[in-house]
């Protein structure tokens, strides 16, 4: 499950007359994605410069993410900055892949959008229900993936061969990427369910920004994993 969005999120907020709505979350999401698109354009057109500072951008975005998570009221102010930073990163990284695999960027964007609407349709129609068992499986799988990635990053930073099979373009590497894409997709269902809970519980208005921010976290992760999967398939 998306670590920045769960039902406990709405137990820590105060409620008032100006409340969270579904349309509000959609509108805030649209604003954040416009900002991310602007950042992605700058990242794409200035990829060489951005790549020199990519780790600073990633660390800064992670710090903003933590700040928003631990102080929900800051979401309206810091989520646009986070979106712009993510855009810079995605633009530069996507161009890096695009040079080696022409057309991969359009395919990754198209598949991510299709995945998003497929999961939304499945949730709205009741085909996929965010039951307690479902959420437990998604949570455990997500944290397992994060743990493996963290170990791999630490090993690589220490100049020790990381968990190489997760980067492999062989059958095992592709199956792992497919599994991660599926888990990232299922996180969207949980996000939709929790946002719906916030709307039905009349959470305060600023939680619309938080809901939009949380969805962005999941969708960016999904996009990067689809990009990795397509790269492995091309290889």
- Three-class SS string for the chain? CCCCCCHHHHHCCCCCCCECCHHHHHHHHHHHHHHHHHHHHHHHHCHHHHHHCHHHHHHHHHHHHHHHHHCHHHHHHHHHHHHHHHHHHHHHHHHHHHHHCCCHHHHHHHHHHHHHHHHHHHHHHCCCCCCHHHHHHHHHHHHHHHHHHHHHHHHHHCCCCCCHHHHCCCHHHHHHHHHHHHHHHHHHHHHHHHHHHHHHCCCECCHHHHHHHHHHHHHHHHHHHHHHHHHHHHC
Could you tell me if residue 6 is inside a domain?
A: no
Could you tell me if residue 115 is inside a domain?
A: yes
Residues 213 and 123: their CA atoms lie apart, in Å, by 20
**Cβ atoms within 10 Å of 21's Cβ, excluding its own:** 14
Percent of the chain with pLDDT over 90: 63
Range of the domain at 188: 18-234
Could you tell me if residue 84 is inside a domain?
A: yes
Could you tell me if residue 10 is inside a domain?
A: no
Could you tell me if residue 1 is inside a domain?
A: no
Could you tell me if residue 58 is inside a domain?
A: yes
Rounded average pLDDT over 212-221 = 94
pLDDT in tens, 114-168: 999 999 999 999 888 888 999 999 999 999 998 988 888 888 778 777 677 788 8
Could you tell me if residue 2 is inside a domain?
A: no
pTM over 0.85: yes
Number of domains in the chain: 1
Is the Cα torsion angle 83, 84, 89, 91 positive or negative in sign?
Answer: positive
Could you tell me if residue 67 is inside a domain?
A: yes
pLDDT in tens, 6-46: 555 655 555 555 889 999 999 999 999 999 999 999 999 99
Tokens (6 digits) for 140: 């455990």
């Amino acid at each position: 499950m998306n670590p920045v969005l769960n039902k406990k999120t709405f137990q820590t907020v105060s409620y008032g007359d100006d409340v969270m709505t579904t349309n509000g979350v959609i509108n805030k999401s649209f604003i954040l994605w416009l900002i991310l698109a602007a950042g992605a354009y700058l990242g794409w057109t200035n990829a060489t410069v951005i790549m020199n500072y990519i780790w600073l951008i990633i660390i800064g975005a992670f710090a903003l993410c933590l700040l928003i998570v631990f102080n929900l009221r800051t979401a309206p102010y810091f989520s646009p900055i986070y979106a712009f930073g993510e855009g810079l990163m995605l633009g530069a990284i996507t161009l890096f892949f695009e040079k080696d695999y022409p057309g991969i960027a359009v395919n990754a964007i198209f598949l991510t959008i299709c995945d998003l609407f497929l999961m939304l349709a499945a949730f709205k129609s009741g085909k996929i229900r965010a039951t307690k068992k479902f959420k437990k499986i998604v949570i455990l799988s997500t944290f397992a993936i994060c743990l493996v990635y963290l170990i791999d990053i630490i090993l690589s930073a220490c100049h020790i061969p990381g968990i190489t099979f997760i980067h492999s373009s062989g059958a095992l590497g592709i199956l792992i990427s497919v599994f991660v894409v599926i888990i990232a997709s299922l996180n969207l269902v949980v996000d939709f369910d929790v946002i719906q809970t916030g709307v039905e519980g009349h959470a305060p208005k600023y939680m619309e920004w938080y809901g939009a921010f949380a969805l962005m976290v999941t969708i960016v992760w999904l996009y990067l994993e689809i990009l990795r999967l397509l790269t492995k398939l091309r290889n």
